[in-house]
Amino acid sequence: MAGDQGWSALWSPVHAGRASLPGISEPFVLLDDWNSGATAQLFSEPHAIITAHSADEVAPALDRVRQSTREGAYAAGYLTYDAARGLGHSVPRPPGNTGTASRSPMLWFGLFGAPQPVRLPSVGLPPVPTGGYLHRPGHRARDDRGRLTALMGHLRAGLCDEVQLVVEAMLDGLGNDPRLIYESLRSVRKADWGGMVSTGGVGFASFSSELLFAQQGGEIWTKTFVDTLGRAARLDDDMAQRQDLARSGRSARARPVAASILAELQRVSGNDTSAPRSRLTLVTRPTAHELSSVVSIRSETGRDGIGLLRAMFPSQSTVGLPKLSAMEVIAATEPNARGAFGGSMGFIAPDGRAAFNVLTQTLEYDAGRSSLLMKIGANCGPTSTLNELLRAFRAQARFLEACAHLGL
């Protein structure tokens, strides 16, 4: 099972490559796995681009992506969370749109030749910029209390067991080149399924360690976030927190998450004769300990990457349990479209390999603005408190402490 690896599990080891990323005004997709060291995979100079700007355009766009890969192209790009409405999920659109506007399409895929290896800077190079400030413009504490109260009403009514609450924050003061910010922070976050997408002046940097699915040689696997704890300053305390997190793998939350993942993977694989292989993995990163569920199974359906994307998107980890019920609660209680957060970026190769991450810990950028947009999620259950959720928001953004004050 390749769950301990990221994008590098789907590529042969490489040691050479171009020395820099394209300009931020050029379209490209970077797939970056910290496990592979300083080498990432870069898709650049697309010969065609496929986009969708509304839910009605999503399914036809994916059909064009599928046909193009069958004709020999590599497809790489992303879907926003809101593209789920175009994949057969009968979820209403959010009631308003009062958040930060985006020029990014709902779906964007470039059609490329084979990717090039690209050498990214080693640890500490370039130096992590400082002087940034992560804040929530116009934020009022009573807004958080009101949203939590609304969510609790749905949870206590039994509409779902868990929903992810999302807030929006702005990152200012770090300059106007998101490539340099990404290159600086990749050694702080050490993400397995990270990277960047530029659609030409607009895009995002992803520091994700979650996998919606990967497929290679008839094997499907996924890696889903279960829980996290921030690192402690003292070594003894830090080790104790890691042990506490390991024990939480047997907690009331971990069990339904794992069961739901197992059921979904068995459904999409069509494999009724063998059980999925499942285990918990605990990874210590520079700012947090992370517990994830890794599941794999042999596919019997012959579903290609587009088929798996349609069947599994979006990830339950950014939605809640049960998934469709939680999506309905999100649509009823969140004031804005989620955008990239909760969406997915990845690639499909002509030989059938495919992988798509889960877009969390994502910084969205627009070359026409000086701020970066970050959306942060925290799981909300029937007994959650506002203080617990605020601590979870801060933990998700803690990797930015190297460059910014967290005014959350």
Is residue 279 included in any domain, yes or no?
A: yes
pLDDT at 30: 96
Q: How confident is the model at residue 128 (pLDDT cuts 50, 70, 90)?
A: low
pLDDT at 93: 61
Q: Cα–Cα distance between 128 and 120 in angstroms, integer?
A: 14
Is residue 384 included in any domain, yes or no?
A: yes
Evaluate whether 224 touches 257 at the Cβ level (below 8 Å): yes
Domain tally, the chain? 1
DSSP codes, 55-107 = HHHHHHHHHHHHHHHHTT-EEEEEE-GGGGGGTT---PPPS---S------SE
Q: How confident is the model at residue 14 (pLDDT cuts 50, 70, 90)?
A: low
Is residue 1 included in any domain, yes or no?
A: no
pLDDT at 101: 46
Indicate the pTM of the whole model. 0.92
Mean pLDDT of 9-13: 81
Q: Cα–Cα distance between 97 and 102 in angstroms, integer?
A: 11
Mean pLDDT of 48-54: 96
Is residue 402 included in any domain, yes or no?
A: yes
Q: Which residue has the higher pLDDT, 99 or 364?
A: 364
**HSE-up of residue 387 (Cα within 13 Å, Cβ side):** 0
21-30, 97-106, 361-370, 373-382: least confidently modelled range: 97-106
pLDDT at 132: 85
What residues make up the domain containing 125? Answer: 7-407
Q: Cα–Cα distance between 253 and 381 in angstroms, integer?
A: 9
Is residue 2 included in any domain, yes or no?
A: no
Is residue 263 included in any domain, yes or no?
A: yes
Q: Which residue has the higher pLDDT, 138 or 209?
A: 209
Please determine, for residue 336, whether its predicted confidence score (pLDDT) is greater than 90. Answer: no
Q: Please give the C-alpha separations between residue 181 and each of 100, 119, 171, 339, 345, in angstroms, as whole numbers.
A: 21, 16, 11, 21, 19
pLDDT at 354: 96
Q: Cα–Cα distance between 211 and 199 in angstroms, integer?
A: 22
CATH number, domain containing residue 110: 3.60.120.10
Please determine, for residue 286, whether its predicted confidence score (pLDDT) is greater than 70. Answer: yes
Is residue 221 included in any domain, yes or no?
A: yes
pLDDT at 110: 98
Q: How confident is the model at residue 16 (pLDDT cuts 50, 70, 90)?
A: low
